[in-house]
Amino acid sequence: MSETITEELPTEYDSLCIGITLYDPQTGSILDANQRAEAIFGYDLERLQQIDIVEYTADTHGSSTSEFLAQLRSATNHGHQQLRWRIQRENGELRWVQFHFAKFEVSGQTCVRAELRDVTEILETTHREELFRRVLRHNLRNEATVLMGHAERIRRNAETPLIGEAAGSIYSAAENIGSIVESVGEIEDTVNQTTTSCTPQSAAEVIRNVSTVVGSDYPEADIRINAEEKLRLPDSEALRCALRHAIENAIVHSSETEAVVKIHIKALPKTDRIRVCIADDNSPIPNCEIDAIHDRESVTTTSHGSGIGLFVMKWCVESLGGEIEIKQANLRGNKVLMYLPNIRPAAVSLTSSCDAC
């Protein structure tokens, strides 16, 4: 039989915003806990010291006391351990808790200190997002395709111009829905590519490559580039996606036959960043579009953006550690400003993944 350990945590732990508990690694008994841990478990310290692991473990996922004990003991022999555990509070409420175990010596006794974080809301939000993505990328896209097909049939066989016009409007709306779904897919595919190489490349070359691709789709557009060859940006799909959307938006929203897009790249020594400016002479971007990408609270049922092109740019740029800013002229003209890290060869040579960016 193991010797009973009776130790306490430093009193300073009560001021922390994360839960801290002290465990006996042999029995799994809680020896001490700070106030935040009491709030997470839903039990006071005196009760926590009396109950076994099984009493605060939810049995909804087949979790066992032996699994919890194994992680505790592993922390004393193999270093830090992590465990996501579903607990049941005294009032019956179920919560997901992330445990981080580490060996902790107190007065010559080997204990395990656990850091606790309630991750219930995070997991629920993640599950909702996964469901939303599935519905959006599969169900909604398929339904939009069906609508387009039927609308085209109605338009071809319309008996009156009014019916043909209505069918055309339905087709355009369904096509826009399909474009939104594709944009959401782009966001997912680009910002989640954490294993993609972030090899630094000439900023001017990155811009030229994207401009060439966009220019092939809009040969009448005049895309002008002013950039220093020595500046370097990460050669990533996220950056190319953001630039492509910015340039395309400037072209398709132009009222001129030959749209003019001016791209200027400049180093900002004070902040060690690179500013990419995509400027046009179009009508000012509506305030509701700009407000929506910076403040989700401003998006209401009566005031919201009509598309997600700016969202795509924002998320792609932020995934690279950058920021985006939109400036409007008084009468005509917009500037999409992307502030990006100035990638140096020496810095990125330390790692081969996008985590360096």
| Residue in the block written with tokens 């999409």 | 336
Residues 219, 328 share a domain: yes
Residue 6 resides in a domain = no
What CATH code is carried by the domain that includes residue 88?
A: 3.30.450.20
Please check whether residue 146 is in contact with residue 51, taking contact to mean a CB–CB distance below 8 angstroms: no
Residue 309 resides in a domain = yes
Q: For the chain, how many structural domains are there in total?
A: 3
Residue 109 resides in a domain = yes
Stated pTM of the model: 0.57
* Beta strands 260-268; 222-226: pairing state: parallel
Rounded Cα distance, 19 and 304, in Å: 40
* Beta strands 232-234; 260-268: pairing state: unpaired
Residues 214, 261 share a domain: yes
Rounded Cα distance, 211 and 217, in Å: 10
* Beta strands 273-280; 260-268: pairing state: antiparallel
Helix or strand (DSSP H, E) at 84: strand 81-88
- What pLDDT does residue 308 have? 67
Q: Is the dihedral of CA 5, 9, 11, 16 positive or negative?
A: negative
Residue 50 resides in a domain = yes
- Collect all residues with Cβ–Cβ distance below 8 Å to 130 and sequence separation of at least 6: none
Residues 66, 27 share a domain: yes
Residues 167, 283 share a domain: no
Residues 322, 200 share a domain: yes
Residues 155, 144 share a domain: yes
- The tokens describing 289, both together, are 């579009």
Domain end (from 67, 94, 118): 118
Residues 107, 176 share a domain: no
Q: What is the dihedral of CA 309, 312, 313, 316, to 10 degrees?
A: -170
CB-based burial of residue 80 (10 Å sphere; 0-12 exposed, 13-18 middle, 19+ buried)? exposed
Query: Strand, coil or helix: what is 296?
Result: helix
Residues 151, 256 share a domain: no
Please check whether residue 315 is in contact with residue 188, taking contact to mean a CB–CB distance below 8 angstroms: no
Residues 200, 94 share a domain: no
Residue 5 resides in a domain = no
Residues 275, 333 share a domain: yes
- Collect all residues with Cβ–Cβ distance below 8 Å to 325 and sequence separation of at least 6: 336, 337, 339
Please check whether residue 115 is in contact with residue 19, taking contact to mean a CB–CB distance below 8 angstroms: yes
Query: Strand, coil or helix: what is 156?
Result: helix
The whole domain housing 21 covers: 11-118
Length of the chain, please?
357
- What pLDDT does residue 258 have? 85
Residue 96 has phi, psi (to 5 degrees) of -90, 130
Domain end (from 177, 192, 207): 192
| Per-residue pLDDT tens listing for the chain (357 residues) | 344 555 678 888 888 999 999 999 999 999 999 999 999 999 999 999 999 998 898 866 556 788 899 999 999 988 899 999 989 898 888 899 999 999 998 878 899 999 999 999 988 887 777 767 776 766 777 888 888 899 999 988 888 989 989 998 998 888 877 777 776 666 666 656 544 455 778 888 889 999 999 999 999 999 999 988 788 887 788 888 889 989 998 999 888 878 999 999 998 888 788 899 999 999 888 888 887 776 554 444 444 444 567 878 888 888 888 889 999 887 889 999 999 887 665 444 434 333 333
Residue 320 resides in a domain = yes
Residue 4 resides in a domain = no
- What pLDDT does residue 354 have? 39
- The tokens describing 286, both together, are 């509506």
Residues 145, 62 share a domain: no
Q: Which of 315, 203, 356 is nearest to 268 (CA)?
A: 203
| Complete DSSP assignment for 222-253 | EEEEE--TT-EEE--HHHHHHHHHHHHHHHHT
Residue 3 resides in a domain = no
What CATH code is carried by the domain that includes residue 318?
A: 3.30.565.10
Residues 276, 235 share a domain: yes
- What pLDDT does residue 111 have? 92
Rounded Cα distance, 72 and 103, in Å: 9
Domain end (from 158, 192, 226): 192
